[in-house]
Amino acid sequence: MIKELPAGVAKVLKRLHHPLDVILLCVRWYVAYSLSLRDLEEMMAERGLAVDHSTVRRWVIKLLPLFEKAFRRHKQSVSKSWRMDETYLKVRGKWAYLYRAVDKAGNTIDFLLCARRDKVAARRYFEKAIGQNGAPDTVAIDKSAANLAALHAVNAHRETPIRIRQRKYLNNIVEQDHRAIKRRARPMLGFKNFRCARILIGGIETMHMIAKGRCGDPKAFACPPRSNSIPWFHRPAHSSPPTSTNRPYRDRTHQCTDPGCAA
């Protein structure tokens, strides 16, 4: 199974000693739902598998950048009308700024976590978003002077300038979309360092885009057909724990290499 994965993912998984479906399930649940690491530790224990919360954290930090990279290769295109805004998250007890944008249909365009909220940070975001998704026709922003100055700086190097709109209520769609990200980040109780914060936010945003159906190639994140037998992680919490001769989590009848699938 590992041989069928991309080289980067297979190289990381080669040194991990738990079943592949267990690793992917823990990583996916952590960034997709409002669960803490200790919640996942207890959930695995109820299914008869001893996984320490620190082990889950190592899986998350190692695998999320690879999953985000794989998803971006299959990410669907977005419309040319963008709504851009920034929100706030705490990193090492200080506020950091998460720049995000969605199109008029609510599809996530891109994101960038920065330590400061200024023209340089906003311009970095626009350059990243344009590089990944192409240039938009219009961008709706709030009354932030930094965002406006960044767009003017981007337009200075373009033959066809991007139209800038600063109107009330146009950004409601992106402000509402912030809620899904902040709801998931809340159980984490803040981030300890900037590197881990960027990795975790990238994973949360990736799962949020997969939930929106933004994967252009369904086969890239698809599961194989489900077997008639019940996988270990669908067994009820009150089922008997595994023994040396009966280890349900070793049942490889359903191996999913999809980081966006819970089954």
Length of the chain in terms of residues written: 263
- Give 61 or 251, the one with higher predicted confidence: 61
CB 204 within 8 A of CB 187: no
Nearest one of 70, 124, 75 to 97, comparing CA atoms: 124
Work out the pLDDT band at 17, boundaries 50, 70, 90: confident
Residue 94 pLDDT greater than 60, yes or no = yes
- Give 259 or 148, the one with higher predicted confidence: 148
pLDDT digits (tens, 9 = 90+) for 103-138: 999 999 999 999 999 999 999 999 999 999 999 999
pLDDT digits (tens, 9 = 90+) for 194-219: 999 999 999 999 999 999 888 766 55
Q: Interhelix angle for 20-32 vs 194-211, to 10°?
A: 90
Cβ neighbours around 48 below 10 Å, total: 18
Average pLDDT, integer, range 73-96: 92
- φ/ψ (deg, to 5) at 75: -70, 135
| Choice among 151-155, 204-208, 223-227 with the minimum mean pLDDT | 223-227
CB 194 within 8 A of CB 96: yes
Domain map of the chain by residue range? Answer: 2-73+216-250, 81-198
Distance CA(2)–CA(11), nearest Å, equals 9
Residue 3 pLDDT greater than 80, yes or no = no
Work out the pLDDT band at 9, boundaries 50, 70, 90: low
Q: What is the pLDDT of residue 8?
A: 64
Q: What is the pLDDT of residue 5?
A: 62
Distance CA(16)–CA(28), nearest Å, equals 16
Query: What CATH class does 81-198 carry?
Result: alpha beta
CB 254 within 8 A of CB 263: yes
Q: What is the pLDDT of residue 249?
A: 40
Cβ neighbours around 9 below 10 Å, total: 20
Residue 221 pLDDT greater than 60, yes or no = no
Q: What is the pLDDT of residue 120?
A: 96
> Which residue is it, tokens 């649940």?
29
Q: What is the pLDDT of residue 89?
A: 92
Question: Using CA of residue 219, residue 210, residue 80, residue 130, what is the dihedral sign?
Answer: negative
- What string of DSSP letters covers 175-196? HHHHHHHHHHHGGGTSBSSHHH
Residue 102 pLDDT greater than 50, yes or no = yes
Token code pair at residue 183: 């709801």
Average pLDDT, integer, range 49-55: 91
| Single-letter amino acid code for the residue at 216 | G
